[in-house]
Amino acid sequence: MKNQRVFRFVTTTAGVLLCTLCLSAADNKGGKVRIIQTNSAGDNIHVIDPATNKVVGVITGIEVNHGAAVAPDGSRIYVSDEAESTLDVVDAKTLKVTNRIPLSGHPNNIAVGRDGKRVYVGIIQEPGGVDVIDTASLKNVKTLKTKGSIHNAYVTPDGKYVVAGSIQGKTVNVFDAQTEQPAWTLDMDLGVRPMTFNSNPDGSTKWIFVQLSGFNGFAVVDFATRKEINRIKNPDLPTGKATVPAGSDPSHGMAVTADGKTLVVCSRLNNFLYAYSLPDLKLLGGAELGGKGAGWVTLTPDGKRAYVANPVTNDVSVVDIASLKEVARIPVGFVPKRNTTGILQ
Amino acid sequence: MRAILAAVIAVELLTPVPIAGQASAWTPSRTPDGQPDLQGVWLNNDATPLERPRELAGRSQLTDAEVGEFRRRAAVLLADNDNDFAAGDALFLAVLSNVARYKSRNSTAGTSEMIEREFDNRTSLIVDPPDGRIPWTTAGKRRYDADVAAGQATAPVGPEDLTNVIRCLTYGVPRLGVNNATAAGSLGYYLILQAPGYVVLMYEAIHEARIIPLDGRPHLPESIRQWSGDSRGRWEGNTLVVETTNFSPKGNVMGSGEHLSLVERFTRVAADRIDYEMTLADPTTWAKPWTVGIRLKQRQETLYEYACHEGNVAVMHGVLSGARAAEMAAAATTGTSGQSAAPSTAPALDFEFFKTKVQPIFLAKRPGHARCISCHTSGTPLRLQPLSPGSTTWNDEQSRKNFEAVQRVAVGSTRSLLLRHPLAEQAGGDFFHSGGKHWDSQDDPEWQILKAWVTR
């Protein structure tokens, strides 16, 4: 619980803008910062120590694992299991699966609530929705109805909203996390892929950054007015540079640094990780990746390093955000999918 | 169809001339809107091969005496219609080998249907790299060879097994084809038209046109892919420079598809000649960019209709009849109608082999991998039957349904998705499989079983 208290202090007093699992360095006390990397064509999940960029643990026995989330107290890792259509609960110390919780359908990505009491699981199988898992009873207690089946589920940085995107429905579905009732829904013109958030000085959600099917870039949705206010296309590649034809959507995976000043955006098509300044959305530059596929990204708590999942080359690129250089590549399992940053007990 | 022109070898000796962008004293006239005038009908009838033959390694130039001898040999071959039509590089290679008679199993006509080809001192159209050879990557060469093999398949199952050229979909941009076959000679006619802000490059074969804007507009979004790519032109002095990207992944230009980046340069160096230089780049196919120089000669002719259209009945009937006959024979053997046993485009595959040898592969656990069945029972185009509760394999009815489903990805025999998708790219597989690459080598026993099934 100590970690949670420190986390709240940081967000409320400094007004920094944190993405879902971007924790302050102050949270590291008593815990181990780890990058959790799922492997969707594998049967294992890799645990990476960002201090050494080495794999320090492997969770086994989960085929076609998709999303991962770490409990705020660091005791558990939750993993969506596409092969069994379950949410698998992993003991963070032993890295063993302790429970498999049946879901209402085939899952995609997941998010854990700020207080750790709920895990939200995006259900991609029709009719879709967001399964709500009670982490005390380890039961699937309800399914939040959505407009279209769900690819990725999130909790806003202030913990007040659950946000779920639908590729097929082309919608952003927002729920009040307290009441678990629909708050609002936004129709987009393209399928909704990954999202991330930044915050106002008071910690409330300012914008949702939304990646869209087939679009090499992202849209910006103003949370207060519930309208798209901008759409940013990633740069074109210089002549002679080859695009990457497959691996994920053209632009898939984003994160906001802990200081709220930088948005990093994966471009599978260009094989780059781009950085944009916030809130002015100016391109700061890009890191050309040695791995291929760029399908997801997570950040270290200090916002200095990005970990990019490369599903084509089965590795993770480590990018120094200040210099926008790839500084390491870490071999992981087959077709790395999602990754997340957490502090394990 | 184009009128058949006499098979005459040009008599004048062309001395080496700088390719596009290099010094030329000749100044072209201007179109009314001020562009250097490139308009007219132009022909690529260079006899020089695309790549320098191994026999001429280290020699970028022939002697004048050799050129004269090659012309003589070519005249002898072309004068006798018992020789086969020699497309692309074939004529040069035939005279280099000094064959008494030219025969090709890919030819459907004789030499009387050829047009004149011009021999000069060059030993390759490739001017860079200096060795005149394509700087293949291993994967690129493999894709190219697969395309060549597909063009020579003896019993293709469906139109998908045929090349874009045979299907009359496109002859590709740039016009190189396989061994220059769709580039030089009777398929080498271009019509260039110019209008304010645009250049139109039309190919007689197969009535493909590229409308090239000159106004500096950006390329289409990367997600939009086109057979002929997306071209943007500009003038550098008297040279038209055209940059083309956004090629379709279904294209195949010398092994390259969607990664192709093309820069073409057209310079009119004389009233009757354009030097046409093209530089092709694709790091996934070639180790470095390479450049080709072609001489387009002006012709006082018009373009004709070129009768090649997707789905040509005669082509499809003829080319696919072998596989249909095999299906009917198999249906007669098994007592089925043939139509109901499998989709009309499916090969006559062996169900028992599938059930006993192929199906277990979908259930097999390979270290670190998810099993095929873990993904392919939902959410993927190839849909296997879920196992019944408590079962470790499929029953007969389920196996039949799996058989029907898997047949659809077995179309294309050795080029089928079933063989390429889970195979590592460096071993001949395709680029990416969201279920991962299960085999690093075609020697893997499981992959060999799949191959044995689709090729039986």
**Contact criterion met (CB < 8 Å) for A41 and B436:** yes
Same domain for B148 and B229, yes or no, is yes
Residue numbers in A near B247 (CB within 8 A): none
Compute the distance between CA of residue B241 and CA of residue B264 in angstroms, rounded to an integer: 6
Question: What are the tens digits of pLDDT across the range B156-176?
Answer: 777 777 788 888 899 999 988
**Residue A264 class from Cβ within 10 Å (0-12 exposed, 13-18 middle, 19+ buried)?**
buried
* Torsion angles phi and psi, residue B291, rounded to 5: -125, 140
pLDDT at A6: 34
- Say which range, B165-179, B312-326, B328-342, has the weakest mean pLDDT: B328-342
Residue numbers in B near A83 (CB within 8 A): 370-371, 374-375
B270, B299, B328 - which closes a domain = B299
**Contact criterion met (CB < 8 Å) for A334 and B368:** yes
Which of A63, A241, A247 is closest, CB to CB, to B371? Answer: A63
Which of B222, B289, B436 is closest, CB to CB, to A250? Answer: B222
Residue numbers in B near A43 (CB within 8 A): 365, 368-370
**Contact criterion met (CB < 8 Å) for B370 and A334:** yes
- pLDDT above 60 (res B5): no
Same domain for B284 and B410, yes or no, is no
Nearest one of A155, A134, A1, A135 to A73, comparing CA atoms: A1
Nearest one of B196, B173, B176 to B185, comparing CA atoms: B176
B275, B299, B323 - which closes a domain = B299
pLDDT at B154: 59
How many CB pairs below 8 A link A and B?
94
- pLDDT above 80 (res B142): no
Residue numbers in B near A250 (CB within 8 A): 222-223
pLDDT at A22: 36
Compute the distance between CA of residue A167 and CA of residue B164 in angstroms, rounded to an integer: 33
- The first and second tokens of residue B11, run together, are 């008599």
Question: What are the tens digits of pLDDT across the range B27-79?
Answer: 899 999 999 999 999 999 999 999 999 999 999 999 999 999 999 999 999 99
Residue numbers in A near B282 (CB within 8 A): 242
Strand arrangement of the beta sheet that strand A171-176 belongs to? A152-155, A161-166, A171-176, A181-187
Same domain for B368 and B253, yes or no, is no
Mean pLDDT of B327-350: 51
Question: What are the tens digits of pLDDT across the range B235-270?
Answer: 999 999 999 999 998 888 888 889 999 999 999 999
Which of A239, A242, A334 is closest, CB to CB, to B283? Answer: A242
Q: From the candidates B137, B217, B222, B372, which should be mutated to test the interface with A, based on the most A CB atoms within 10 A?
A: B222
**Contact criterion met (CB < 8 Å) for A41 and B434:** yes
**Contact criterion met (CB < 8 Å) for A335 and B434:** yes
Helix, strand, coil share (%) of chain A residues, nearest 5: 5, 50, 45
Within a domain: B393: yes
Residue numbers in A near B375 (CB within 8 A): 41, 64, 82-83
Same domain for B287 and B355, yes or no, is no
Q: How confident is the model at residue B409 (pLDDT cuts 50, 70, 90)?
A: confident
Answer yes or no: pTM beyond 0.90.
no
pLDDT at B51: 95
- pLDDT above 90 (res B445): yes
**Contact criterion met (CB < 8 Å) for A63 and B289:** no
Q: How confident is the model at residue B357 (pLDDT cuts 50, 70, 90)?
A: very high
Within a domain: B195: yes
Nearest one of A320, A283, A299, A276 to A19, comparing CA atoms: A299
**Contact criterion met (CB < 8 Å) for B379 and A245:** no
- What range defines the domain where residue B400 resides? 342-454
Same domain for B288 and B346, yes or no, is no
Within a domain: B319: no
Compute the distance between CA of residue B216 and CA of residue B197 in angstroms, rounded to an integer: 10
**Residues 6+ away with beta carbon under 8 Å from A87:** A78, A79, A80, A81, A100, A101, A103, A107, A110, A119, A121, A131, A133, A140
Cα–Cα distances in Å, from B308 out to B21, B170, B171, B173?
35, 10, 10, 17
**Contact criterion met (CB < 8 Å) for A245 and B432:** yes
Question: For each successive 10 residues of chain A (345 residues), what is the average pLDDT?
Answer: 34 32 44 96 98 98 98 98 97 98 97 98 95 98 97 97 97 98 97 97 97 96 98 90 85 97 97 98 97 97 97 97 98 98 96
Same domain for B265 and B354, yes or no, is no
Which of A44, A216, A293 is closest, CB to CB, to B222? Answer: A216
Within a domain: B111: yes
Enumerate the H helices of B199-288 as residue ranges: none
Region for A32 from its dihedrals, namely left if φ exceeds 0, alpha if ψ lies in -120 to 50, beta otherwise: beta
Within a domain: B12: no
- pLDDT above 60 (res B116): yes
Domains identified in chain B, total number: 2
Same domain for B278 and B162, yes or no, is yes
pLDDT at B14: 33
Same domain for B439 and B376, yes or no, is yes
**Contact criterion met (CB < 8 Å) for B259 and A106:** no
pLDDT at B155: 63
- pLDDT above 50 (res B340): no
Dihedral angle computed from the Cα positions of residues B133, B138, B144 and B147, in that order, rounded to the nearest 10 degrees: 160
Chain A residue with CA closest to B242: the answer is: A239
Same domain for B57 and B166, yes or no, is yes
Within a domain: B329: no
Which of A216, A240, A245 is closest, CB to CB, to B261? Answer: A240
Within a domain: B14: no
Same domain for B382 and B264, yes or no, is no
**Contact criterion met (CB < 8 Å) for B378 and A44:** no
pLDDT at B369: 97
- pLDDT above 50 (res B410): yes
User: What is residue B425's DSSP assignment?
Assistant: G
In the block, which residue shows the tokens 């209008």? B195
**Residues 6+ away with beta carbon under 8 Å from A301:** A22, A23, A24, A25, A27, A28, A33, A258, A341, A343
Residues recorded for chain A: 345
Which of B243, B258, B378 is closest, CB to CB, to A125? Answer: B378
pLDDT at B81: 87
Same domain for B259 and B372, yes or no, is no
In one letter, which amino acid is A43? D
Same domain for B279 and B359, yes or no, is no
Compute the distance between CA of residue A269 and CA of residue B59 in angstroms, rounded to an integer: 41
Q: What does B63-77 look like in DSSP terms, one character per residue?
A: -HHHHHHHHHHHHHH
Compute the distance between CA of residue B238 and CA of residue A139 in angstroms, rounded to an integer: 74
pLDDT at B6: 31
In one letter, which amino acid is A332? V
Which of B222, B282, B369 is closest, CB to CB, to A43? Answer: B369
Q: From the candidates A58, A60, A64, A215, which should be mutated to test the interface with B, based on the most B CB atoms within 10 A?
A: A64
**Contact criterion met (CB < 8 Å) for A41 and B261:** no
Q: Are strands A161-166 and A171-176 parallel, antiparallel or unpaired?
A: antiparallel
How confident is the prediction for chain B on average, in pLDDT? 85
**Contact criterion met (CB < 8 Å) for B369 and A233:** no
B238, B273, B299 - which closes a domain = B299
pLDDT at B412: 66
- pLDDT above 60 (res B339): no
Within a domain: B11: no
- pLDDT above 60 (res B100): yes
**Contact criterion met (CB < 8 Å) for B223 and A64:** no
